[in-house]
Amino acid sequence: MTLDFAAGSVTALVGSSGSGKSTLLRLLLGLEWPDQGEIIFNNAVVGPHNAVAIRRACGYVIQSGGLFPHLSAAANLALLPRYLGWTQAAIDARIRELAELVNLDAPMLARYPGELSGGQRQRVALMRALIIDPPVLLLDEPLGALDPIIRHQLQDELLKIFSAIAKTVIVVTHDLAEAAFLAPRLVLMRSGRVIQDGTLQDFRKRPADDFVSRFVAAQRVLPAA
């Protein structure tokens, strides 16, 4: 495949389980390496020599949140900035700023991940991804494990956050409706290949093949009353 992600754009990767969406994110982060071809970030080829720097330029949110269970939410957030030499005052100020951005009550930050709801954990995970203000945000099915009401609420909040932070965003989901709500550009993958790259209207009106039509038709809606 060949894909470009413009600075400041928001893209959703969609497809069935096993289509390669999460693997593509890991390739972009330098957590896996391509057998052929190159991953290029800001005109630099991603490799072992610069992978750590590129990972720090990319906030990464996974479905489970990936928070350390033995640390409070605030301690999870402070890990990287403290390692990078930030002062405690700078860390506290950034945490307050992000808590407001993701609509998380400050008292929740003293709790451990096991004491937070799924939605609260995902808010903390998003804060951690943004803590050092990276230019790129990668989200791997960040809402997949949440109940429908919380998922709907966080979809609304993510859309506002994407607009507010003005970063390059790539979000992975198998839910086409969610993808179209969050991103103007959709990339449908199947078996490690890009099947169609475009808008929801392109998928509906100009499907690249029968699989695209079936994928669109498979998105269920409530039956009529």
pLDDT value for 15:
92
pLDDT value for 21:
94
pLDDT value for 186:
97
pLDDT value for 135:
95
pLDDT value for 146:
81
Domains contained in the chain, CATH given: 1-55+166-225 (3.40.50.300)
Q: How far is CA 50 from CA 27, 56, 61, 108, 166, in A?
A: 13, 10, 21, 35, 24
137 closest CA partner among 2, 12, 21, 23: 12
pLDDT value for 17:
87
Structure tokens given for 14: 């969609």
Residues of the chain with pLDDT below 50 are: none
| Distance, CA of 55 to CA of 182 (rounded, Å) | 23
Instruction: Enter the pTM of the model.
Output: 0.92
Instruction: Give the type of residue at 129.
Output: A
Structure tokens given for 210: 């029968």
pLDDT value for 129:
95
**Per-residue b or e along 114-136, where b marks 16 or more CB atoms closer than 10 Å to that residue's CB:** eebebbbbbbbbbbbbbbeebeb
80 closest CA partner among 69, 64, 63, 68: 68
Provide CB contacts within 8 A for 205, sequence distance 6+: none
Q: How far is CA 74 from CA 59, 81, 82, 102, 171, in A?
A: 17, 12, 12, 14, 25
| Distance, CA of 205 to CA of 130 (rounded, Å) | 37
